[in-house]
Amino acid sequence: MPAAQGGIALGEFASGWARADHVPLMRTLKTSEAAALLNVSPNTLRAWERRFGYPKPRRTTGRHRLYTHGEVTALRDALRQGLSISTAVSRAREALSANTDTLVGALAGFELDRADGAMESALALRSLERSIEEVLLPSLDELGERFGTDSAPWAFAARWADGWLRRAQRLAPPPVRRLAVLVGDATRNELDPDALATRAFELFCGRSGAPALALPIGGLAGLSDIVASLSPDAVVIAGGHDSDEAVAQWTYRVRATAGPLPVVLFRRSMLSASIGAAGGQVLGEAPFGAHRRLLALVGGRLPELRDDASLAMGDHDDERREAEA
Amino acid sequence: MRPPRALRSVPLDERGVALVSFCGHCGTRPEPSALAAQPSRVCGHCGLGLVLHAGGDVAPRRDQPFLVVDATLSVCAVSAAAEELLGIDETQAVNKHIADFLVPADANAPSAEHLLTLLIEVAGGSGEPRTTVVRPRHEFGVRFRARIGSCGSPQAALLVLI
């Protein structure tokens, strides 16, 4: 677990994705949700907490329990093969700590082979999506916390992670949906922490059959040709490095070619009011949840999104053109 | 008027003995209808054990102390009654060697009767249920007859203290 997660203030959310400042990663479950995932009653879950100390929930300011999704799913998997709750708890604890610790240790020691091995081990216990969200990204977060994201160890780890994600992307199955996603890459470069989440997001889209093409926000020349060729169903602005102005210009160019596409934001806060026309709905911070929400959006079954993020570009298109004129 | 009794299939083990389900913590034998209603293997009675299966001639009765040991002789489960009888805590005992808690009462017994040999055989899936005599480690003068048979899943040895 990233070190900074220990200081999360839990007051402002119920279940969903726990986030502290700049530390977005931990998915949480309410007692009823965790109990449903494990097919037990909430009372049983509380009895396990008393007897085994696992899963260990955090508390909201209202004293409600919030369970870590990773802990609950690790226990669920271990229960399927266990002879007792104790052994399942023991196995779940090991499974959770081993891969993350190994990966952090390998990357901190600049051992690429061992880092690859840690991910292989993680994949033996989890799906690719969970391995990325529960092992790879938290490990990188921990390294970022430990060394800083402007350090050489971070650069080493981020480059390895970027390469690992790209390799996984090449192994994604061929697209089966008639959907295409255009990602406006507003991250600084491959060393930007948001860039790794964006790679993971692209990977998840590709694996679910909706290929995502990432293009830099700064590249306007020839953009119309690519957009016309790709015919995207949705545009995702990923990352918070590039300015709102640059994002607005890029988005306007895309929409001028492809028409009024839905524009959603990933790992980027709402755009400023002056160019809010380019802003859209905000996907979650975690890549897997974000990709699920995007598919729901494109498929017309949008689950609840943040109310404050309900701007659609079409509503502001005319205002924007007037402003630009 | 009493409702007609319905026939139901009874699973048998490889020896042809009817399999019995029981909780690995409290030893309660759940009703088949309760098993079907509970999608997880967690005991609906105590919530602290997983439902295991063993032949009817091996399975413990409720509140009978027992332990579950895997083929590496690691303790996998300790029933509530065994916790009380042996003065150990399941959460501390799991993954430890069975010899840390129980040893053969007769150190001169032939090797085939040796507790550990029996456990390995049974946990590996071979061997009829057997009975031997054990004692708690570091305690003399206290003996228990132990019934050892196969249980699962996954396959392991069930040691019932009788």
Residue B58: CB partners within 8 Å, gap ≥ 6?
A: B129, B147, B148, B149, B150, B151, B158, B160
Instruction: Report residue A213: phi and psi, to 5°.
Output: -115, 125
Per-residue pLDDT for chain B (162 aa), expressed as one digit of tens each? 676 777 767 677 777 778 889 999 999 988 877 776 677 788 888 999 999 999 888 899 888 999 999 989 999 999 999 999 999 999 999 999 999 999 888 766 665 457 888 888 888 877 688 888 888 988 888 888 999 999 978 889 999 998
Residue A176 clears pLDDT 70, i.e. is over it? no
Residue A292 clears pLDDT 60, i.e. is over it? yes
Q: Do A85 and B25 touch (CB under 8 A)?
A: yes
Band (pLDDT 50/70/90 cuts) for residue A26 is: low
Q: Do B48 and A38 touch (CB under 8 A)?
A: no
Nearest to A252 by CA among A204, A199, A324, A190: A324
pLDDT tens, A302-319? 333 332 223 333 333 333
A102-111, A216-225, A246-255, A263-272: least confident range: A263-272
Instruction: Decide the pairing of beta strands B156-161 and B66-69.
Output: antiparallel
Give pLDDT, residue A29.
Answer: 87
- Residue B110 C-alpha, separation from nearest chain A C-alpha, in angstroms: 30
pLDDT tens, B126-161? 768 888 888 898 888 888 899 999 997 888 999 999
- Determine contact, residues B162/B63, Cβ cutoff 8 Å: no
Instruction: Say if A50 is an interface residue toward chain B (CB within 8 Å).
Output: no
Band (pLDDT 50/70/90 cuts) for residue A16 is: low
Q: What is the mean pLDDT of residues A65-90?
A: 86
Q: String of b and e for A174-191 (b: at least 16 CB within 10 Å)?
A: eeeeebbbbbbbbbeebb
Nearest to B67 by CA among B80, B48, B54: B80
Residue A5 clears pLDDT 70, i.e. is over it? no
Q: Name residue B106's amino acid.
A: D
Q: Do B76 and A39 touch (CB under 8 A)?
A: no
- Cα–Cα distance list, A31 to A67, A69, A115, A304, B145 (Å): 7, 11, 34, 21, 43
- Residue B70 C-alpha, separation from nearest chain A C-alpha, in angstroms: 9
Q: What is the pTM of this model?
A: 0.54
Q: What is the mean pLDDT of residues A275-289?
A: 68
Which residues on adjacent β-strands are paired with residue B54? B20, B151
Structure tokens at A268: 């980027």
Q: Is A231 left (phi over 0), alpha (psi -120 to 50) or beta?
A: left
- Name which residue leads in pLDDT, A173 or A303: A173
Domains of chain B from N-terminus onward: 61-161 (3.30.450.20)
- Residue B4 C-alpha, separation from nearest chain A C-alpha, in angstroms: 33
Q: What is the mean pLDDT of residues A39-64?
A: 88
Q: What percent of chain A clears pLDDT 70, i.e. is strictly above it? A: 77
Structure tokens at A254: 């895309």
Q: What is the mean pLDDT of residues A158-176?
A: 83
- Determine contact, residues B48/B90, Cβ cutoff 8 Å: no
A85-99, A106-120, A174-188, B92-106: least confident range: A174-188
Structure tokens at A310: 């309900």
* A83, A91, A93, best to mutate vs chain B, most B CBs in 10 Å: A83
- Of B47, B91, B156, nearest to A83 by CB-CB distance is B156
- Of B39, B48, B77, nearest to A83 by CB-CB distance is B77
pLDDT tens, A212-255? 888 888 888 888 888 888 888 888 888 888 888 888 888 888 88
CA B70 to chain centre: 11
Structure tokens at A253: 């160019």
* A38, A75, A84, A94, best to mutate vs chain B, most B CBs in 10 Å: A84
Chain B residues contacting A, CB < 8 Å? 24-25, 38-42, 47-50, 52, 68, 70, 76-78, 90-91, 93-95, 154, 156
- Determine contact, residues A235/A251, Cβ cutoff 8 Å: yes
Band (pLDDT 50/70/90 cuts) for residue A177 is: low
Distance from C-alpha of A177 to C-alpha of A161, rounded to nearest angstrom: 27
Q: What is the mean pLDDT of residues A77-81?
A: 84
Give pLDDT, residue B111.
Answer: 52
Order of strands, sheet of A23-30, starting from the edge strand that comes earlier in the sequence: A16-20, A23-30, A65-68, A58-59
- Residue A319 C-alpha, separation from nearest chain B C-alpha, in angstroms: 56
Instruction: Say if A167 is an interface residue toward chain B (CB within 8 Å).
Output: no
Nearest to B76 by CA among B62, B90, B56: B90
| Average pLDDT of chain A, as a whole number | 76
Q: Do B50 and A38 touch (CB under 8 A)?
A: no
- Of B39, B76, B93, nearest to A39 by CB-CB distance is B39
Q: String of b and e for B44-78 (b: at least 16 CB within 10 Å)?
A: bbbbbbbbbbbbeebbbeeebbbbbbbbebbbbbb
Residues on chain A touching B69 (C-beta within 8 angstroms): none
The ipTM assigned to this model is 0.83
CA torsion angle for A11, A14, A20, A22 (degrees, to 10)? -140
Q: What is the mean pLDDT of residues A36-59?
A: 90
Q: Do B68 and A43 touch (CB under 8 A)?
A: no
- Residue B113 C-alpha, separation from nearest chain A C-alpha, in angstroms: 25
Distance from C-alpha of A209 to C-alpha of A180, rounded to nearest angstrom: 9
- Determine contact, residues A5/A70, Cβ cutoff 8 Å: no
* Nearest residue of chain B to residue A37 (CA atoms): B40
